[in-house]
Structure formats: C-alpha cells, structure tokens
Amino acid sequence: MTTSTEQTAVRPVARTAAERRVMAALALEPGGPPSLQARIVGRILRSAIMTAWNSLPDTDAGLRRFQRGNDLFARVQSVPRGVAVARTDLGTCEAEWVRAGAPDERKVFLYLHGGGYFFGSARLYRPSSWRLSAATGRPVLVPDYRLVPDHTPADALEDAVGAYDFLLRSGYAPDDIVVGGDSAGGHLALALLLKLKERGTGLPAAAVCLSPWVDLLCESDSHRLNARSESIIPARKLAWLGRRFCAGKAKEDPVFAPLHGDLSGLPPLLLVASGSEILRDETRDLAERARAAGVRAVYQEWDGLMHVFTVFADFVPEGKAAFRHIAEFLRGAEA
C-alpha cells in the first residue's frame, strides 16, 4: 500500500562515485524492498535501543534513566560545515534554529521531535533538522518542549502553540509556515493543527508527519501484528505510556485529538510510515480519515524499515530519499 507524490523535479547530474551513491539514494521510492544498510541498521537498533527500553522499569525513574542516556548521546551529535545552529527563547521553552546553507528566510519549518513525550531534544535531532533545512530550503525551528515525567503532553502542546505564535510574531504569515514532527512529535503536530483550528488561528501551508503516534492508547492492529518486526519501540512499553497519558481524560481532551478530531479544513498532509512498524495502521487510518474529510493527504509506506527511518539517514539510504520526497511534497502543496 504505497502512495507518493506525482511531483517531478530536475536533479543535478552525478559526476563522481560519491555523488552517484547519493543520487542513487535520493532516487529511492516507497514500495521496494529495504536496502541492505536498512536491514543491518534495523538489527543493530533492535539489539540496542529496544533492548535498553525493554530493560527499564515502568516508573518515573525508568523514564528519567532512558532520558539521561539519550541526552548523553545528543552531546556527540554534530552538523556539517555550512550548517548554523542558534538557540532562542520561546517563553515556556527554548528552541534551536537550524539553517543549512542559505535558506529562504521568508519561509520556515516548525519541527516537533519525537521521543514518546519523555525523551528527545533539538540537539539529538540535529542530523534530521539540518537535512530538513537543506532539502526544503528553509530554516527549521525545533522546540525543546517540556517532557514527561516532570511535565505532561498538555505542556508540550502549550509549547508547540507557543512556538507557532512566536513565528507569527516574528513576521511569518501562516502560508509561509510548515509544521511537522515524528512519532510523538507527529501526534503533537496534529494536535497543534487542531488547536489552531479551534481557536481560529491561520493554519500553516502544509504538515508532514513521520510515523506519527496517532492513537496514544495503541489499539490499532499493527501494535500486535508488527510487534516482532518493529525495530525500536517495545509495543508493551508504548502502550503503558499511552495509558498513563490518557488516564482520566475525556474523549474531547487534546491527547485524543488526532484520533477523534474533526480533520476537515486541515492543510495538505504528508504521512509516512514503515510497513513493519507498530504505528503503521494508525497512520494509514489517519490518511483515510483525512481524505474523507476533504483534506489532501499523501500517504507513503516504506517496506521493512525502522520507525522514523529519517532519523537514521546518515546510515540508511531510504532516509535520505525521504527528505527529497518531503521537499517535493511541499513544492506541490505550495504550488
């Protein structure tokens, strides 16, 4: 089940072996078998990240321990020469501006990182944010929204709304803004769109959701069917988090918004998932519900890859290709 944009683009001619390898990666499309690199990286991630997450107790202390490990790893993240990173204060939280080369400052990408609402940071996501800036030709703003267990997804949504308002105050029109996110950040991006719609704020030009955690209660069939093929997320652990976040909440609560919200009037959506991850079915369902509501929704399903494979673009050629698809989608959405 694969859908891609119909957009075509003129691409440069590769002259060296290295350029040919990059161009071959960028040319990849959803629907084919996973690359050898992706299969190897998937096995490594299963033995490292999933094992580490599975070993933690379902407690605040366990969440903090995983968070500390990711913060240590974030310290070694770097960006290539020509990429500028700058911190900024959004009020309720801080954020990073990431600029690759000389982006068009009239446009901006607001990106909400993943991490189950309890880990992740702008610094951890630099390998993704610089590629996003380079591919889309615009600066990328990545908020360090507040995290569980000291805060809640509601605090994260407040920070996301604050980041969008910051961009409006900075002179960006809604049509100049694109919103995106992955995993929990994909859920947050969708909740942000619905919150902006609710309060009558101008919506962004488009939204990009990579392996979004749409259903926090984890009731989609793929949570069971893909539990063994998933490379990163232990299904049981994610379900525990979701029950914790949703406990005592009414169906109208923003945590349920992406699953039960009225999607009509939303901007064009690009939704990307792996056919072997546990969040596959809820991403498929989101695309179908969005189309039924009259939203232009493009769904891409890549076979046999890890959750949010764009994060591993340094090692997985399909990750590099996905950024090209994002850029082409945005050109089509803004045409």
Of residues 230, 277, 282, 318, which has the active-site annotation? 277
Q: Which residues of 149-178 are buried (b: 16+ CB within 10 A; e: fewer)?
A: eebbbebbbbbbbbbbebbeeeebeeebbb
- Ranges of H-type helices in 179-265: 184-199, 222-225, 235-246, 257-260
Could you confirm whether 6 is annotated as catalytic?
no
User: Which residues is 81 bridged to in the sheet?
Assistant: none
Structure tokens at 302: 């890549």
User: Which residues is 274 bridged to in the sheet?
Assistant: 302
Contacts of 176 (CB under 8 A, 6+ apart): 106, 107, 108, 205
Of residues 113, 187, 223, 307, which has the active-site annotation? 307
Structure tokens at 288: 């179908």
Is the distance from CB of 59 to CB of 330 less than 8 angstroms? no
Query: How buried is 64 (Cβ within 10 angstroms: 0-12 exposed, 13-18 middle, 19+ buried)?
Result: middle
Could you confirm whether 260 is annotated as catalytic?
no
Structure tokens at 145: 């929204």
For β-strands 94-100 and 140-143, DSSP reports them as: antiparallel
Of residues 121, 128, 129, 183, which has the active-site annotation? 183
Cα three-residue angle 254-260-261, rounded to 5 degrees: 65
Could you confirm whether 277 is annotated as catalytic?
yes
Q: Which residues are catalytic?
A: 183, 277, 307
